[in-house]
Amino acid sequence: MTDEQYIEFIRKNHARRKLAGILGFLIIVATGIGTYFASKDQDQWIDDFLEADDTLFEGRAITEQDVVLTETMIDTAQSLGTENGIFMGHFMSVAVMFGLGCLVHAFGGRKDRLLLEYYDRAVSDNER
pTM over cut 0.75: no
Round to whole Å and give the CA distance between 65 and 69.
Answer: 6
Question: Could you report the per-residue pLDDT of 96-120, keeping only the tens digit for each?
Answer: 898 888 888 888 888 888 888 999 9
Band of residue 30 on the pLDDT scale cut at 50, 70, 90: very high
104 φ/ψ sector (left φ>0, alpha ψ -120 to 50, else beta): alpha
Q: Where do the structural domains in the chain lie, given as residue ranges?
A: 12-127
CA angle at residue 95 from 48 to 23, to 5 degrees? Answer: 115
